Structures are given as C-alpha cells and as structure tokens.
A and B are shown apart, each in its own frame.
Chain A
Amino acid sequence: MSVPRRRLRGIAAAALAAGLVLSAAACSASDGDSGEGGQSTIVLQYFGSPGFDAAVAAFQSANPDIKVDAQNMGELKDFTPKLNQWLATGQGAGDVVMLEEGTLLGYLETPDKWTNLLDLGAASLEADFLPYKWANGFTADKSKLVGLGTDIGGLAMCYRTDLFQKAGLPTARDEVSKLWPTWEQYAATGKRFKESDAVKDVAWIDTATAVMQPYIMQNSQTWFYDTNNNYIVEQNPIVREAWDFGLQMASDGLTGKLQRWQPDWNAAFANAAFATVPCPAWMTGSIAERAGDAGKGKWDIATIPGGSGNWGGSYLAIPEQSKNKEAAYKLLTYLTGKDGELSSYKEKGNMPSNVKALDDPAFKDSTNEYFSNAPTGEIFGASAKSLKPIYLGPKHQGIWENHFETEMRNAEQGKKTSDEAWAKAVADGKKLAEG
C-alpha cells in the first residue's frame, strides 16, 4: 500500500516506456538484413565511379537468390570516416566494401575487422591477378587475405586536341607522345604551348600537385614510408624532386593552380581551362563526366612522360561484421573476376587488375569513343604488366591529401614559399604518421 514505492514504480514504467520507444526507433534504422522470399540482401558500398552498375545487374540476374543493395558513398574522403566509424562500432558497414590503395594498409593494421578471404576459398584465384595486386591484399604476416583487386591505375596523359591545334602543336596521339618522353620535355612543350596567344588564358596542366603521383611512382619504390612503416619522406630525394619540379612548372606559369576534385576544378574541365592532365585509367571516366558532351571527341590520350607507373586502384573486402559472408564472397569474386572487371572497364574506363580480363580482346582491342577513339586497351595495357609496385604505407592517403598536397598548393598559389610549405608538410605528416 505504500505510495512512494508505487510512485517509483510509475516513474520506472514511464522511463521504461520512453526507453523502449527510443530503442525501437534506434533499431528500426539498422534492420533490413534479409529480403523477402528467401532472398538475402548484400550491401555493396563503394566510392567514386568504379562502374559497377552493369556488373551488379548481371550478377543479380545470374543469382536470383541474392539481392544487391549497391550504395554509392560519394568520394573517398566522404566514405573513409564513415567506414571507420562503422568498423569501430561493429555495425553499419556493408557486406562488401571498396578500399583504396592509399588507405588499404591502414585497414590491414586491424586484421580482426576483416574476413579472411582464404577461408572462403580465394587461394585458387592467385594466378588470376597481377602479382603485386594480389600480394598487397595480404596482412603483414601474410596469413590473411583481406582484399581482392578491382582496378589499377595504368598511366597516360590526357590532352585536348582542340587547344593543341590552336597553339600550333601536333594533335595526333603518336606525335604528341613523341613530344614528351621525359618530364623535362613535357615542361618544355608546355612553354611552347604558352607562347601562343591563341591560348593565353589556358594552363598547360591543371595543378602542380598532379605531377607528384606519376613522377614519384615512376622513380621510387617508396614514398612517405619505408617498407617497415617508418616515416622517411625526408630521406627520399625523389619526393622533393617531384615537389620542386611541379612548383617550377607553377612559377613558369604552366599550372592552373586548381584544387582537384573541387567545384572549380570541375568547372575548369567544362571551360577548357587547361590543356593536359595526367590520367590513370580510372581518371578517364572522371574527365568524361566533368567535361561533358561538349568535350566529346576533343580529348585524346597520349603516353605519359617518364615511363610506366601506377596511380591508385582499389580493392574489395568483406568486413568481419558481415552476416552473409558466403553471398558477399560470391559478389566480390564476380566483381573482381574477368566479367566484372571488363564490365567496369566498359562502363567507366577502370582498368582491370585481373590478368584474364587484361588478356581479353574486349580490353586489349578496346577504344574510347569519348577520347577520339583512342586505343585505351593498348595504351594502358602496355604499362600494366611491367608495373613496378610502390609501397604506400598505412596513412599514405591522409598524409598526401591533408598535408603534402595542401601545402604544395599553398606554395603553388604563392601563399607560402616552397621551403616553408615543405617544412610544414613534413612536420604535420610526421605527426600523422607517428601519432
């Protein structure tokens, strides 16, 4: 009969009711693991434009019992923090997620968050992949295979034939390739280009930072880290060499001083504000998207100065938290298999890392209509098998994007001297690498 206890009970009941409402609201968001009618749903999360649409559709019609929920997570920088939170909390990540080369090694440091693809039968696929691409998917002790390769970044140089013509330069891709066997000759051609009044508002290259990746990847086997994950950028003369070369082009007035992946850069494509851009295979899709129909047929592809190298490329992995690993593995091996990678290539120009796809006539004899029917299979394929892999290290992408690229742009835009910017980038990069 005691009233206080009843009151407590009442409060408890009210609190419980409110709590239930709250938790029900919280739960309902994460439901939806299983579809109807015995169909299981697999969530695929990717960034950028990997060209999975047709491949996913083909996979679904071949596997009617699996429904693929393909989620485009925006650019890499949008996806990375989200994926990290999902891995940290143990829920939210898709069944198959895409990992970029520059961030992959960071994820390999927490192998317990990932499914070992060897357990699902991936061992037999070794011969299908380029050796370095296969090897990079493993954890440091080689016991666990976390990811299988999607695309790789075979290198080329994309250029605008209409601007070349205005400036009095040759426009045929073979002749253009002969203009720049080396980076020095590339810069010299840029100066010739700038001498023409017909193109005086046009930059030779979009930004000084654009030469860093190809230049370093051609000339060094390491970048910020050595293979023991020590931060060694100051002992790597190639990085400073590339930095100085890029900024020299800037002070010669050859660069557009743009920031990649931002609205101004996108608009610059539409406005034909620069004549050349180093383009890994996956970049061709990005260029076509940005330059739009107006640029169709005005772009072409020549070889890159300085020989072959690799720039970017991704992996697909299965987070340990996935509830349907078998079906996830089916999707993963389809997308990284011959048919899946050829489909990505056809859709967005992403170059296969799967050897069977690389050897297929559908890749080898392919041309790109947008780029004046350039024989892309031949141009990109030529460098693919002779690639020297470069070791990137766990926090490569963050060090590059947040510190070196930003500081180099500060120097390019004249906000800092080259030495000031370099010192700041080295110090902040060290803090990130060793912190």
Chain B
Amino acid sequence: MSVNTHAAGMPRHAASPPPLDPGQRRKQARQVRLGRLDLKMSPYLYVAPFFILFAVFGFFPLIYTGWVSMREWGLIKGDQGFVGLQNFQEVLADANFWNAMLNTFGIFVVATVPQLLLALMLANWLNRKLRFRTALRMGILLPNITSVAAVGIVFGFIFADRYGLANWVLQSLSLDPVSWRGSRWASWTAIAFMVDWRWTGYNALIYLAAMQAIPRDLYESASLDGASPTRQFWQLTVPLIQPTILFTVIISTIGGMQLFTEPLMFNYGAAGSGSGLENFQTIAMYIYTTTFEGNFKYGLGSAMSWLLFMLIIFFALINFLLVRRSLKGSVK
C-alpha cells in the first residue's frame, strides 16, 4: 500500500501530512490503482479494435473455412458430414480450376509488370520540381478511390464487342475489331487495363514516398560526375528504393491472386460456371460460382479458398526471402 501512495506523488517526508480518514484513503488507493491500470491497459485497448476485427472477420472465417473444406456441405441442403481431404482431391483434379489458375496468373503478369513500371516512371516524374505538384500527386490517386464496380461497368462498355468504344476507335483507324471476351489475350489485356487504371497511381505514391527519403546530395554528386537523369534513375533511384518495390510486388501479388470484381464486371456481372468464361475466369470467380451458383458446393468452394490462401502464403514467403536477400545485399 505504501508503495502505492508513494507512486501517487505524495512525498513521504512531508512535514505533517494530514491524517486521512479510511474513506479518503480507499478513494486515493482506488485512483492510484486506476492510474496504473490505465497506464498498462490503455495500449491494449487502443490496439484492440484491430485484433477484434481481425478475429471476427479474418481469423474466424479462415478457421471455419478450413473446417467446412473437409465436409460435404451444400449451401441450401446443409452439412452432409465429414469427408476428409476429398474436396481437395476433387479440386486438384478439376480442369476448370487449373484453367482459372492459369487465367489468374496470366492476368496478374499482364497487369502487374506494366503497372509497376508505369508507377515507377510516374513517381520519378512527380519527384521533380513541377508546378501544381500537390494537385498532381493527389490527382493520381483519384482512380483508386472510385468504386471498382463503377470502373468495371464503364470498362465493360468500353470493351463491348459490337458497340464498344475500344472497337469503335479501332474501326475508325481501319483496324479489325477485337472480340474482347473471345480470346485469352484480348480479355487479359482488357482486364489489365482496368486493374492498372485503378492501382498505378496508388503504387506511384508509395514509390514517391520512398524516393523522397533519398538524400538530395547523392543526386548532386551524381550530376557532378556527369550522370544523365536516365542513368541516375536506373542506377541510383531504383536500387535505393528496391525494398519498396518488393513491397509493392507483394501487395500486388496478394491483390492479383484475389482478382474478382474487374473480370466479373467485364463479363457484365456473370461469374458463370466453368465453360463460359474459360478465357478469363479467375480463381476467385470460380470459388464464387462453385459456392453460390450451380451446385452450391460450400465444402468444395472452401477447399479452393484454402488452396488459394496457401498459394498466397507461398508467394508472400518467396517475396519475403527476396526482400531479406536484397536488404542484406544493400547493407554490404
């Protein structure tokens, strides 16, 4: 107890401390305890919302999905019992799943590589002394804050086969119209346009932040040594923000593996089942259609979700190892 009172800031050697009656002493002690509690508890309280939200909307669904993935479960008919790894076997033997996998990777590569390059160029441009710099920097984030569904609908009209804007432009240049949903490359390209339109600015801002942390005198001495701006960019800027580049690669990979809304909207809102969308159906779309359309196979969809989750973990690990190696490299 005495330690407590001391901690509360009451000097022990005070000339004649007025005697406290028991009620006051209890009150004081309670305040002290509350103060200590506040000190120790508050940080937990402040971070709690994230953990509670994560537990409810992240961790629990993850575990529950894992449980469902080992059961035969029709969405409407309900739980039909434990089947072990049968769902996983079925998924791995499903040609449509591998087709969706190919599409997901294809769109990811076609979308992400130009996107990150473009973002890098944009960031480098914005890193210079420009007029209206702040407005421009904010402006490139605008596509990112528009609703993805709205973007999808507009792009769906642009890339319509018969009466779309893109084909109209092609035809007025006397080129052949493209069947945008009819071929793998055309559909991947069209979807990549949507993805890039939304995310290039976002990545550019991240790069810009990293570029601003590079000391100016490095550039000054490089200029004195006669390095051209292009050379400065490739040999100074890019190596120095390498960890950031790898970070954006990880984020884009996770986003790319879960690609759903853009291809869905590209197909005017139909996730379809299998055959209709073989050119551009992504894994997320296939999961959706397996679970919520057709046969309503909740267990099978859950197994696919878990495979996708493990795939993302796998890629995140690879990226993580790359980052570590590159960091070690830059320390040397």
CB within 8 Å of B: which residues of A?
3, 6-7, 10-11, 14-15, 18-19, 22, 77-78, 80-81, 84-85, 87-88, 109-110, 113, 258, 262-264, 267-268, 271, 273, 395, 398, 402-403, 406-407, 413, 415, 424-425, 428, 431-432, 435
> A407 CA to B278 CA in the complex, in Å?
11
| 23 chain-A/chain-B pairs, Cβ below 8 angstroms | A3-B33, A3-B37, A6-B37, A7-B37, A7-B41, A11-B44, A14-B45, A15-B52, A77-B269, A78-B269, A84-B75, A85-B292, A88-B296, A262-B268, A263-B156, A264-B162, A264-B164, A268-B162, A403-B273, A406-B272, A406-B276, A407-B275, A432-B273
With contacts A18-B52, A264-B160 known, is A428 near B273, CB below 8 A? yes
With contacts A11-B44, A113-B76 known, is A402 near B276, CB below 8 A? yes
Segment 288-306 of B: residues with Cβ below 8 Å from A:
292-297
Partner of B276, one of A15, A19, A268, A403: A403
> A18 CA to B50 CA in the complex, in Å?
10
With contacts A84-B296, A413-B179, A435-B297 known, is A263 near B163, CB below 8 A? yes
**Beyond A3-B33, A403-B275: 20 further Cβ-contacts under 8 Å?**
A10-B41, A14-B48, A15-B52, A18-B48, A19-B52, A77-B269, A78-B269, A84-B75, A84-B296, A85-B292, A110-B76, A110-B77, A113-B76, A258-B162, A267-B163, A268-B162, A395-B294, A406-B275, A407-B275, A428-B275
> A18 CA to B75 CA in the complex, in Å?
30
A-B CB pair tally, cutoff 8 Å: 103
Inter-chain contacts of B78 with A (CB < 8 A): 88
Q: Which 7 A-B pairs have the closest CB atoms?
A: A406-B276, A267-B163, A402-B273, A81-B292, A264-B162, A18-B52, A435-B295
Whether the Cβ atoms of A267 and B162 lie closer than 8 Å is yes
> A72 CA to B25 CA in the complex, in Å?
67
CB of B218 within 8 A of chain A? no
CB of B243 within 8 A of chain A? no
Partner of B294, one of A15, A87, A425, A432: A432
CB of B56 within 8 A of chain A? yes
Whether the Cβ atoms of A398 and B293 lie closer than 8 Å is yes
CB of B216 within 8 A of chain A? no
Partner of A428, one of B33, B49, B163, B274: B274
Smallest CB–CB gap between B296 and chain A, Å?
6
> A403 CA to B276 CA in the complex, in Å?
6
CB of B193 within 8 A of chain A? no
Q: Looking at chain B, what size class is its interface with the partner chain? A: 35 or more
Smallest CB–CB gap between A144 and chain B, Å?
16
Inter-chain contacts of A88 with B (CB < 8 A): 75-76, 78, 296
CB within 8 Å of A: which residues of B?
33, 36-37, 40-41, 44-45, 48-49, 52-53, 56, 75-78, 156-157, 160-164, 179, 182, 268-270, 272-276, 292-297
> A109 CA to B157 CA in the complex, in Å?
39
Closest to A273 in B: B162
**Consensus secondary structure, chain A interface:** helix
Whether the Cβ atoms of A264 and B163 lie closer than 8 Å is yes
Inter-chain contacts of A15 with B (CB < 8 A): 48, 52
Smallest CB–CB gap between B69 and chain A, Å?
17
Smallest CB–CB gap between B237 and chain A, Å?
44
Closest to A403 in B: B275
Whether the Cβ atoms of B272 and A402 lie closer than 8 Å is yes
Inter-chain contacts of B292 with A (CB < 8 A): 81, 84-85
Whether the Cβ atoms of A402 and B274 lie closer than 8 Å is yes
> A113 CA to B74 CA in the complex, in Å?
14
Inter-chain contacts of A10 with B (CB < 8 A): 37, 41, 45
Whether the Cβ atoms of A263 and B157 lie closer than 8 Å is yes
Smallest CB–CB gap between B259 and chain A, Å?
19
Partner of B76, one of A6, A11, A78, A87: A87
Smallest CB–CB gap between B79 and chain A, Å?
11
